[in-house]
Amino acid sequence: MTAADRAPVPADVAPSLVVDFDGYRPGDNQNYHLPYARLHEGGVPDIFWSPYNGGHWILTKRAYLAEVFADPARFTSSEGSSVDPIEPPDRPRLVPIEADPPRQQVFRKLFSPAFIATALKAREAEARALAIELIETLKPRGRCEFVTEFAQHLPIRVFMNMVDLPEEDRETLLPLAAAQVQADAPKAEMLALLFDYAGRRVAERAANPGDDLISRIATAQVEGRPIALHEAIGVTTLLLIGGLDTVASMMGHIMQFLAQHPEHRRQLAADPTLSAAATEEFLRRFALTNSARTVVTDLDFHGVRMRAGQKVMLATPFGALDPNDYPDPLRVDFTRKSNTKTTFGGGPHVCPGSMLARIEIKILLEEWLPRIPEFWLDEADPPRIRTGVNGSVEHLPLMW
């Protein structure tokens, strides 16, 4: 049986709670978020059992997602951060995401200083200069494939500078990181290659440390001792996965939307002061990660009996499109008042890269729209979606 097949439903899960929905393959090949909105409109249960990917719970209310993100005592990350099993079981753990507090906090502290506002000032100037250079190069061509020609450059080059990795490694790393967040990819095999890569870099920096993030991790003290090699590899690999896919995926969703919505494009081009509010609304509307927790002991969660060891998928697109929080949730409205969202998770694991992501998305809006205000999809070559732990636009031809 593959992950895409239906697994037998546990006997004590009520048939009314079973929904034929695969969180890693939601179903629409061109509009990633539509199946989530359709289920909300169809009155899907707040908590349901999906028989796919081995079988697991899915939460659809934003408030429930926030509650589980904030509750590591009942919902642990130590059994993995997706509904897939850890494979092979003895591989290095991706700390801090595959750990609970207090251990999780020990490893998170190794990189969190690099993501605070003062540390990101220099990154912002660098990202803006790079965005301008990329857009000015593309502009005379009248078209581009946005994902490979922009989205996989701006956030990734900024990240590669943070960790002091050479630009030429980008192409090796992208498919390895993408396989970790993509359904039906050879995940374990590609993760082993990422570990090899991270291991080489950690050893190199431990022997000859510089001023970059990997050097800091490779030479860190944790719990009163030098960090172990497998721990340094785990942290570095996690950063590579976190830093290489998410912002590029988010940019793809935003640009697909803007290509299809001239009124939003014109609104932003006419009033650049909207860019911060627009960034927040896009981050709400296009939430794209589906991480997971494991139930620690048998428990009752809002009237649903969950058993120890069962997985709970934290599908943030459901949170983003919860009509209880966001009236008419598919509508993109830059004046929307609610700022509460689960796009970056919440609680101890809340995304450390959220400020960097915000900076880069705001720069995209501020620098693209004045230079290329009118653009549209190529009807002969439609967008393609990639699904899994992250929902991404993997192919987005734009014309202007």
Beta carbon of residue 56, minimum distance to ligand HEM (angstroms, whole number): 14
Among 353, 388, 391, 397, binds ligand HEM (CB under 6 A): 353
Neighbouring C-beta atoms of residue 351, cutoff 10 Å? 16
Q: CA 133, CA 130: separation in Å to the nearest integer?
A: 5
**C-beta closer to ligand HEM: residue 92 or 352:** 352
Distance of CA 368 to CAs 193, 215, 386, Å? 35, 35, 24
Binding flag, residue 252, ligand HEM (CB under 6 A): no
Q: CA 297, CA 313: separation in Å to the nearest integer?
A: 17
Among 214, 232, 238, 295, binds ligand HEM (CB under 6 A): 238
**C-beta closer to ligand HEM: residue 180 or 289:** 289
Show the binding pattern over residues 288-317: x = contacts ligand HEM (CB under 6 A), - = does not.
xx-x------------------------x-
Binding flag, residue 51, ligand HEM (CB under 6 A): no
Show the binding pattern over residues 92-121: x = contacts ligand HEM (CB under 6 A), - = does not.
----xx------x---x-------------
Across the chain, which distance is largest between two alpha carbons, in Å? 62
φ, ψ of residue 93 in degrees (nearest 5): -80, 140
**C-beta closer to ligand HEM: residue 97 or 176:** 97
The set of residues, in sequence order, having a beta carbon less than 8 Å from that of 308 and lying 6+ positions away, is: 295, 296, 297, 298
Buried b (16+ CB within 10 A) or exposed e, 56-67: bbbbbbbebbbb
- Quote the Cα angle for 209-210-215, to 5°: 60
Both ends of the chain: CA-CA distance in Å? 46
Binding flag, residue 253, ligand HEM (CB under 6 A): no
**C-beta closer to ligand HEM: residue 239 or 385:** 239
Among 159, 257, 282, 301, binds ligand HEM (CB under 6 A): 159
| Host H or E run for residue 250 | helix 229-260
Among 243, 383, 388, 391, binds ligand HEM (CB under 6 A): 243
Please report, as ranges, the residues that interact with ligand HEM according to CB under 6 A: 69, 81, 96-97, 104, 108, 159, 238-239, 242-243, 246-247, 250, 288-289, 291, 316, 343-345, 349, 351-353, 356-357
